[in-house]
C-alpha cells in the first residue's frame, strides 16, 4: 500500500477559496510530530496503522463522558469572508465507539462537519453524513487536511487572538461546550498557550 496523499503536491483548488490553503506541512510536522498528519478518511490511501496512531495532543481540554476534546482552534478569516473552519482532537477513553454528529456556534449561522479528500488528484471538501466515529482507545484529529468543522454564514470575521464558544454534539456523550482559540490566517496548527 502506498501513501499517495501529499499535501505539497496537492492542488488545493477547493481549499484555497476557503482560506485553508496555508497549511505548511513542515510546520505541522514540527509542531505535531507526535500526531498523525491527517485524519482517517475512507477515500485516502493510507496505512491504517499510521492513521490510527495515538495522538497525544496538548492544549485546553474539554470532557464529556469518555471523550476528551483537546485544543479546539480556528484560523482568522479575511474581511468579508463568510466561511471559517474549526479544528480539534477527540480522544475516546471508553470501551465503545462514539460519534461526533453535529456542532453549533454563535459565531456561525450554519455549521457542518466536513472532510477533505482527494478526488482525481484534487483536494475537495464535502459534508460528512452520519457523523465522525471515534473508536474506543483512539483519537480523531480534525485538522486542515482532513475532517474539520465548517463555520458558515459567519456573523463577523474571526480575529487572531479571539476565542469563541461552540457546542459539539456526540451520539453517546451528548453535548459538550468547548472554546476555540483563533490563530493567524495561515496558521498550520493550534495557537500556543
Q: Which of 32, 35, 75, 114 binds Cu ion (CB under 5 A)?
A: 114
Q: Does 150 bind Cu ion (CB under 5 A)?
A: yes
Handedness of CA 183, 188, 190, 192 (dihedral sign): negative
Question: x/- contact string, 43-82, with Cu ion (CB under 5 A)?
Answer: ----------------------------------------
Number of residues forming the site for Cu ion (CB under 5 A): 3
Q: Which residues are within 8 A (CB) of 38 and not within 5 positions of it... i.e. 6 or more apart?
A: 5, 44, 46, 51, 141, 143, 145, 146
Q: Which of 100, 125, 166, 190 binds Cu ion (CB under 5 A)?
A: 125
Residue appearing with cell numbers 491504517: 48
Shortest spacing between CB 150 and Cu ion, in angstroms: 4
Q: Which stretch binds Cu ion (CB under 5 A): 41-49, 121-129, 131-139, 179-187?
A: 121-129
Interface contacts to Cu ion, rule CB under 5 A: 114, 125, 150
Amino acid at each position: 500500500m502506498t501513501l499517495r496523499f501529499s499535501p505539497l503536491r496537492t492542488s488545493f483548488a477547493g481549499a484555497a477559496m476557503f482560506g485553508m490553503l496555508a497549511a505548511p506541512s513542515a510546520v505541522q510536522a514540527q509542531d505535531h510530530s507526535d500526531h498523525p498528519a491527517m485524519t482517517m478518511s475512507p477515500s485516502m490511501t493510507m496505512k491504517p496503522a499510521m492513521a490510527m496512531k495515538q495522538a497525544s495532543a496538548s492544549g485546553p481540554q474539554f470532557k464529556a463522558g469518555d471523550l476528551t476534546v483537546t485544543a479546539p482552534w480556528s484560523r482568522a478569516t479575511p474581511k468579508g469572508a463568510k466561511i471559517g473552519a474549526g479544528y480539534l482532537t477527540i480522544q475516546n477513553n471508553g470501551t465503545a465507539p462514539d460519534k461526533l454528529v453535529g456542532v453549533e456556534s454563535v459565531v456561525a449561522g450554519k455549521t457542518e462537519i466536513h472532510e477533505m479528500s482527494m478526488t482525481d488528484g484534487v483536494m475537495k471538501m464535502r459534508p460528512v453524513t452520519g457523523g465522525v466515529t471515534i473508536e474506543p482507545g483512539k483519537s480523531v484529529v480534525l485538522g486542515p487536511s482532513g475532517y474539520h468543522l465548517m463555520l458558515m454564514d459567519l456573523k463577523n470575521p474571526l480575529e487572531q487572538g479571539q476565542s469563541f464558544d461552540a457546542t459539539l454534539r456526540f451520539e453517546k456523550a451528548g453535548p459538550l461546550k468547548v472554546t476555540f482559540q483563533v490563530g493567524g490566517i495561515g496558521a498550520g496548527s493550534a495557537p500556543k498557550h
